[in-house]
């Protein structure tokens, strides 16, 4: 597992890696800005022109106040959602990262069967919806966990990232039934490896390369498990 991670880390300077990082980040930012614009419009639409407070009287400008409050809310929310969203978009460019890893480290392998654009899009949309739903739900649990919040964040996203990255990589070379069997046999290893990817999500700047680093790591991990008969 750690060998796979350090091999992936050593290839971060690859031109194809850098391209996918930039595309994933730009698409994720575009989506977050679009969601925020819709959210802000909804806030303005639902906000009353004024409210009457006891002893104070009418207070106006609620739409402006709630608008600025929503900015702070979205900044906090983006900390939790930016990289998972970027991770989902990375699925659309999986082939570039996996091919770069296999070209350098496994040149003897026959060409993989690439996922169709429709299948890649379907997988990414499903993963995106699952990640957003579970991370938003977790926001209501985190206040009760105190110092355990980082561990819960890493464990949740580690489980999701481990299954998603491994599935996307393995489906290039195995039918879905065999991929599911490998997931069952190696669920512990994949969860720990996914958590290794999730830990840097809390580190600004570094978290932006996590999606590409994850795909590369799980490409190595897939070949290690396959060669070991697992």
d(CA 33, CA 37): 6
Q: What is the pTM of this model?
A: 0.72
**Helices within 47-116 (DSSP H only):** 62-90, 94-105
pLDDT one-digit tens code per residue, 127-175: 777 877 887 888 888 888 888 888 888 888 889 888 888 988 898 899 9
CA 90-222-24 angle, 5° bins: 5
pLDDT tens digits, one per residue of 80-134: 666 566 666 666 777 788 889 999 999 998 888 877 777 777 777 777 778 778 8
What share of the chain has pLDDT > 70, as a percent?
74
Domain of 116 in residue numbering reads as: 2-227
Q: At what angle do helices 210-227 and 2-9 cross, to 10 degrees?
A: 130
Total count of domains within the chain: 1
Q: What is the pLDDT of residues 196-213, one digit of tens each?
A: 888 876 676 677 777 788
């Amino acid at each position: 597992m750690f060998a796979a991670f350090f091999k992936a880390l050593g290839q971060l300077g690859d031109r194809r890696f850098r391209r996918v990082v930039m595309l994933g980040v730009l698409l994720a930012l575009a989506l977050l800005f679009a969601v925020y614009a819709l959210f802000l419009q909804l806030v303005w639409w639902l906000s009353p022109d004024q409210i009457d407070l006891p002893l104070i009287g009418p207070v106006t400008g609620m739409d402006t106040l709630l608008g600025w409050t929503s900015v702070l809310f979205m900044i906090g929310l983006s900390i939790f959602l930016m990289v998972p969203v970027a991770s989902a978009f990375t699925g659309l460019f999986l082939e570039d990262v996996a091919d770069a890893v296999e070209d350098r480290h496994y040149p003897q392998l026959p060409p993989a069967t690439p996922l169709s654009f429709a299948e890649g899009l379907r997988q990414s949309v499903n993963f995106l919806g699952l990640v957003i739903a579970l991370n938003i739900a977790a926001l209501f649990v985190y206040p009760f966990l105190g110092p355990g919040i980082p561990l819960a964040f890493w464990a949740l996203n580690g489980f999701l990232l481990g299954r998603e990255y491994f599935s996307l990589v393995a489906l290039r070379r195995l039918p879905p039934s065999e991929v599911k069997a490998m997931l069952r046999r190696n669920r512990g290893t994949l969860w720990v490896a996914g958590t290794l990817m999730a830990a840097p999500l809390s580190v600004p700047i570094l978290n932006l390369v996590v999606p590409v680093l994850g795909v590369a790591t799980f490409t190595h991990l897939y070949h290690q498990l396959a060669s070991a008969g697992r």
